[in-house]
Amino acid sequence: MTGGMAFILDEDKSFFDKCNRGLVNIDRIINEDMESHRTLLQCSILNHYQETKSLRSKEMYDDFDKYEQLFWLLETVGWKQSFKDGNQVLDFLKAFNKDVISGKGLSKETLDTAGVTLDEVDMSLNDDAVDLGTVKKSQKL
């Protein structure tokens, strides 16, 4: 994963120990500062149910208070974004789904919807390690 974020469902509570926190930042979404991310996750689960009729996603949506504590927000180092309100979350989710379906990755327009600007991304490789992409500058709304 380069320059992005993901929600990880950690039902067996083993993710923290398995995750390389040198390459990614992880946070729980249950505190007040994470309200926009919680909304995004909840909308994503609902959207998944509406598209697939998955009983598992319906259960997660219906009992979100139980499941939200099992999720981690994973962001590549340097990636930060925030949302002003629920409408911006929904706009981002629609654009994100369109990008995923296209198979071309996140578009600049989708990142703009999330309020993220990427001035420069370093994708260089060296002899010792693979740089998974470090965002040089990111702007929050």
Q: For the segment 32-58, what is each residue's pLDDT rounded down to a tens digit?
A: 888 888 888 998 899 889 889 999 999
Q: Specify the number of domains making up the chain.
A: 1
In this structure, is residue 56 part of a structural domain?
yes
In a domain, 141, yes or no: no
Exposed / middle / buried, residue 87 (Cβ in 10 Å: 0-12, 13-18, 19+): exposed
Structural domain range at position 93: 5-135
- Look up the pTM and report it: 0.58
